[in-house]
Protein backbone atom coordinates (compact mmCIF):
# COMPACT_ATOMS: atom_id res chain seq x y z
CA UNK A 1 0.00 0.00 0.00
CA UNK A 2 1.09 3.59 -0.54
CA UNK A 3 1.69 4.22 3.17
CA UNK A 4 4.03 1.23 3.49
CA UNK A 5 1.50 -1.14 5.04
CA UNK A 6 1.03 -4.61 3.58
CA UNK A 7 -2.53 -4.95 2.30
CA UNK A 8 -3.29 -8.30 3.94
CA UNK A 9 -1.14 -8.10 7.08
CA UNK A 10 -2.27 -4.63 8.12
CA UNK A 11 -5.90 -5.82 8.31
CA UNK A 12 -5.25 -9.43 9.32
CA UNK A 13 -7.20 -9.19 12.57
CA UNK A 14 -10.32 -8.21 10.61
CA UNK A 15 -10.12 -11.29 8.38
CA UNK A 16 -11.50 -14.80 8.83
CA UNK A 17 -7.95 -16.25 8.61
CA UNK A 18 -7.00 -18.75 11.35
CA UNK A 19 -3.22 -18.93 10.80
CA UNK A 20 -0.40 -16.76 9.51
CA UNK A 21 2.74 -18.44 8.12
CA UNK A 22 5.24 -15.60 7.78
CA UNK A 23 8.54 -16.24 5.94
CA UNK A 24 11.00 -13.41 6.52
CA UNK A 25 13.19 -12.61 3.49
CA UNK A 26 13.69 -8.88 4.05
CA UNK A 27 16.77 -7.19 5.49
CA UNK A 28 14.78 -4.27 6.90
CA UNK A 29 11.41 -2.63 6.42
CA UNK A 30 9.51 -5.82 5.71
CA UNK A 31 6.79 -5.07 8.26
CA UNK A 32 5.24 -1.69 9.03
CA UNK A 33 4.07 -0.62 12.49
CA UNK A 34 0.48 -1.14 11.38
CA UNK A 35 1.32 -4.64 10.05
CA UNK A 36 2.83 -5.62 13.41
CA UNK A 37 -0.07 -4.15 15.38
CA UNK A 38 -2.60 -6.08 13.28
CA UNK A 39 -0.62 -9.32 13.67
CA UNK A 40 -0.61 -8.84 17.44
CA UNK A 41 -4.39 -8.20 17.45
CA UNK A 42 -4.74 -11.31 15.28
CA UNK A 43 -2.92 -13.36 17.93
CA UNK A 44 -4.96 -11.75 20.72
CA UNK A 45 -8.13 -13.03 19.05
CA UNK A 46 -6.66 -16.54 18.90
CA UNK A 47 -4.87 -16.61 15.55
CA UNK A 48 -1.86 -18.92 15.20
CA UNK A 49 1.44 -17.66 13.80
CA UNK A 50 4.49 -19.38 12.30
CA UNK A 51 7.56 -17.21 11.74
CA UNK A 52 10.51 -18.60 9.81
CA UNK A 53 13.56 -16.89 8.33
CA UNK A 54 17.17 -17.83 7.60
CA UNK A 55 20.80 -16.66 7.95
CA UNK A 56 22.36 -13.37 9.05
CA UNK A 57 19.79 -10.52 8.86
CA UNK A 58 17.14 -12.15 6.67
CA UNK A 59 13.72 -11.45 8.16
CA UNK A 60 15.06 -8.79 10.50
CA UNK A 61 11.70 -7.02 10.53
CA UNK A 62 10.55 -9.83 12.87
CA UNK A 63 12.28 -7.78 15.59
CA UNK A 64 9.30 -5.44 15.52
CA UNK A 65 6.83 -8.24 16.32
CA UNK A 66 5.92 -8.51 19.98
CA UNK A 67 6.69 -11.72 21.87
CA UNK A 68 7.53 -14.17 19.10
CA UNK A 69 9.73 -11.60 17.32
CA UNK A 70 12.22 -11.76 20.18
CA UNK A 71 12.76 -15.47 19.50
CA UNK A 72 14.73 -14.68 16.34
CA UNK A 73 18.39 -13.63 16.51
CA UNK A 74 20.16 -11.65 13.81
CA UNK A 75 23.60 -10.36 12.92
CA UNK A 76 22.92 -6.69 13.67
CA UNK A 77 19.92 -6.86 16.03
CA UNK A 78 18.81 -9.05 18.92
CA UNK A 79 22.01 -11.10 18.75
CA UNK A 80 22.30 -14.41 20.57
CA UNK A 81 23.02 -13.85 24.26
CA UNK A 82 25.98 -16.25 24.21
CA UNK A 83 28.79 -14.14 22.72
CA UNK A 84 30.62 -17.31 21.69
CA UNK A 85 27.83 -18.02 19.21
CA UNK A 86 28.34 -14.73 17.39
CA UNK A 87 30.70 -16.41 14.99
CA UNK A 88 30.56 -17.94 11.53
CA UNK A 89 29.43 -21.57 11.53
CA UNK A 90 29.02 -22.12 7.78
CA UNK A 91 32.47 -21.51 6.31
CA UNK A 92 31.55 -22.87 2.88
CA UNK A 93 29.67 -19.75 1.77
CA UNK A 94 32.00 -16.89 2.79
CA UNK A 95 29.60 -14.19 1.57
CA UNK A 96 27.24 -14.97 4.46
CA UNK A 97 27.89 -14.23 8.11
CA UNK A 98 26.44 -15.41 11.41
CA UNK A 99 24.06 -16.68 12.47
CA UNK A 100 24.47 -19.32 9.76
CA UNK A 101 24.34 -22.83 11.23
CA UNK A 102 25.31 -25.51 8.70
CA UNK A 103 22.96 -28.48 9.07
CA UNK A 104 23.81 -29.98 5.65
CA UNK A 105 23.36 -29.53 1.91
CA UNK A 106 20.13 -28.36 0.34
CA UNK A 107 18.36 -31.56 -0.66
CA UNK A 108 19.82 -33.56 2.22
CA UNK A 109 18.17 -34.41 5.52
CA UNK A 110 19.45 -33.56 8.98
CA UNK A 111 18.98 -35.81 11.99
CA UNK A 112 17.48 -33.74 14.77
CA UNK A 113 17.00 -34.05 18.54
CA UNK A 114 13.49 -33.58 19.87
CA UNK A 115 13.20 -32.29 23.43
CA UNK A 116 11.23 -34.28 26.01
CA UNK A 117 8.34 -34.57 26.48
CA UNK A 118 7.75 -34.61 22.75
CA UNK A 119 5.77 -31.54 21.72
CA UNK A 120 2.67 -31.99 19.56
CA UNK A 121 4.45 -30.29 16.64
CA UNK A 122 7.22 -32.89 16.76
CA UNK A 123 5.09 -36.05 17.09
CA UNK A 124 5.65 -38.91 14.66
CA UNK A 125 3.67 -42.10 14.19
CA UNK A 126 6.56 -43.49 12.18
CA UNK A 127 9.37 -43.60 14.74
CA UNK A 128 9.63 -45.83 17.81
CA UNK A 129 10.59 -42.78 19.88
CA UNK A 130 7.31 -41.09 19.02
CA UNK A 131 9.17 -38.03 17.76
CA UNK A 132 10.24 -36.67 14.39
CA UNK A 133 13.87 -37.61 13.68
CA UNK A 134 14.66 -35.80 10.42
CA UNK A 135 14.08 -32.42 8.79
CA UNK A 136 15.39 -30.93 5.53
CA UNK A 137 18.95 -29.63 5.89
CA UNK A 138 20.31 -26.23 4.88
CA UNK A 139 23.88 -24.84 4.77
CA UNK A 140 23.13 -21.68 6.76
CA UNK A 141 20.17 -21.68 9.13
CA UNK A 142 19.21 -18.82 11.40
CA UNK A 143 19.07 -18.74 15.19
CA UNK A 144 16.08 -18.94 17.54
CA UNK A 145 15.72 -19.14 21.31
CA UNK A 146 13.22 -18.48 24.09
CA UNK A 147 12.85 -14.73 24.70
CA UNK A 148 13.26 -13.68 28.30
CA UNK A 149 9.98 -13.31 30.16
CA UNK A 150 7.98 -15.54 27.81
CA UNK A 151 6.59 -19.02 28.17
CA UNK A 152 8.21 -20.38 25.04
CA UNK A 153 9.77 -23.82 24.78
CA UNK A 154 12.52 -25.23 22.56
CA UNK A 155 10.98 -28.24 20.82
CA UNK A 156 13.71 -29.34 18.36
CA UNK A 157 17.49 -29.03 18.17
CA UNK A 158 19.87 -29.46 15.24
CA UNK A 159 23.62 -29.93 15.03
CA UNK A 160 26.11 -28.30 12.69
CA UNK A 161 27.90 -30.87 10.55
CA UNK A 162 30.92 -28.53 10.33
CA UNK A 163 31.46 -27.53 13.97
CA UNK A 164 29.34 -30.06 15.87
CA UNK A 165 27.61 -27.17 17.62
CA UNK A 166 23.97 -27.68 18.56
CA UNK A 167 21.44 -24.98 17.72
CA UNK A 168 17.70 -24.56 18.19
CA UNK A 169 15.49 -25.42 15.24
CA UNK A 170 12.10 -24.41 16.63
CA UNK A 171 10.59 -22.64 19.63
CA UNK A 172 6.87 -23.05 20.43
CA UNK A 173 4.62 -20.65 22.33
CA UNK A 174 1.41 -22.13 23.73
CA UNK A 175 -1.88 -20.31 24.04
CA UNK A 176 -1.98 -17.63 26.75
CA UNK A 177 -5.55 -16.74 27.55
CA UNK A 178 -7.10 -15.75 24.24
CA UNK A 179 -3.70 -15.21 22.58
CA UNK A 180 -3.04 -17.76 19.87
CA UNK A 181 -0.20 -20.25 19.60
CA UNK A 182 3.01 -19.50 17.72
CA UNK A 183 6.20 -21.16 16.48
CA UNK A 184 9.55 -19.56 15.64
CA UNK A 185 11.42 -21.73 13.12
CA UNK A 186 15.11 -21.29 12.27
CA UNK A 187 14.90 -21.60 8.46
CA UNK A 188 12.20 -21.42 5.81
CA UNK A 189 14.26 -24.03 3.94
CA UNK A 190 12.50 -26.62 6.11
CA UNK A 191 9.46 -25.95 3.90
CA UNK A 192 10.80 -25.31 0.37
CA UNK A 193 10.27 -27.70 -2.52
CA UNK A 194 13.92 -27.18 -3.48
CA UNK A 195 15.01 -28.67 -0.15
CA UNK A 196 12.72 -31.65 -0.62
CA UNK A 197 13.90 -32.12 -4.21
CA UNK A 198 16.68 -29.92 -5.71
CA UNK A 199 15.52 -30.81 -9.22
CA UNK A 200 12.64 -28.39 -8.63
CA UNK A 201 15.16 -25.63 -9.25
CA UNK A 202 16.21 -22.51 -7.38
CA UNK A 203 17.18 -18.85 -7.95
CA UNK A 204 20.49 -18.33 -9.78
CA UNK A 205 22.20 -16.80 -6.73
CA UNK A 206 22.00 -20.13 -4.86
CA UNK A 207 25.24 -21.84 -5.83
CA UNK A 208 25.92 -24.33 -3.00
CA UNK A 209 26.19 -28.02 -3.98
CA UNK A 210 23.05 -30.06 -3.44
CA UNK A 211 22.40 -33.49 -1.94
CA UNK A 212 19.78 -36.18 -2.42
CA UNK A 213 19.26 -37.32 1.16
CA UNK A 214 15.61 -36.35 1.26
CA UNK A 215 14.80 -38.19 -1.96
CA UNK A 216 16.81 -41.24 -0.90
CA UNK A 217 15.37 -41.47 2.62
CA UNK A 218 11.60 -42.12 2.79
CA UNK A 219 11.68 -41.76 6.57
CA UNK A 220 13.13 -38.25 6.30
CA UNK A 221 10.52 -37.32 3.72
CA UNK A 222 7.70 -38.54 5.94
CA UNK A 223 9.11 -36.74 8.98
CA UNK A 224 9.35 -33.44 7.09
CA UNK A 225 5.77 -33.79 5.90
CA UNK A 226 4.66 -34.70 9.43
CA UNK A 227 6.30 -31.52 10.75
CA UNK A 228 4.29 -29.39 8.34
CA UNK A 229 1.05 -31.24 9.06
CA UNK A 230 1.61 -30.99 12.81
CA UNK A 231 2.28 -27.25 12.58
CA UNK A 232 -0.95 -26.68 10.66
CA UNK A 233 -2.91 -28.72 13.19
CA UNK A 234 -1.34 -27.31 16.37
CA UNK A 235 -1.49 -23.67 15.31
CA UNK A 236 -5.23 -24.04 14.87
Which tops the pLDDT comparison, 176 or 168? 168
The pLDDT of residue 4 is 86
The pLDDT of residue 119 is 98
CB 183 within 8 A of CB 121: yes
Residue 211: what are its φ and ψ, rounded to 5°?
-120, 180
Average pLDDT score over residue span 50-57: 98
Give the confidence band of 1 by pLDDT, cuts at 50, 70, 90.
low
Q: Across the chain, what does the average pLDDT equal?
A: 96
Q: 140-171: per-residue pLDDT in tens?
A: 999 999 998 888 999 999 999 999 999 999 99
Answer yes or no: is pLDDT of 37 > 70. Answer: yes
What is the percent of the chain where pLDDT is above 70?
Answer: 99
Q: 91-126: per-residue pLDDT in tens?
A: 999 999 999 999 999 999 999 999 999 999 999 999
**Separation CA 150–CA 168 (nearest Å):** 16
Answer yes or no: is pLDDT of 2 > 70. Answer: no
Domains, the chain:
9-234 (3.40.50)
Q: Characterize 94-114 residue by residue with b for buried, 16 or more Cβ atoms within 10 angstroms of its Cβ, and e for exposed.
A: eebbbbbbbbbbbbbbbebeb
The pLDDT of residue 151 is 87
- pTM, two decimals, is 0.96
Amino acid sequence: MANGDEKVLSTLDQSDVDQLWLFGVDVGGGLSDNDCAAIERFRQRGGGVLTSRDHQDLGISFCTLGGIGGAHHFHTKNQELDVARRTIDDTETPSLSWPNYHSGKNGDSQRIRVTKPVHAVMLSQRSSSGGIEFLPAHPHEGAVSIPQGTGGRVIAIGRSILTGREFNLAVAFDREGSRGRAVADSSFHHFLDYNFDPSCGCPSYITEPTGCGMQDNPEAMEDARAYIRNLASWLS
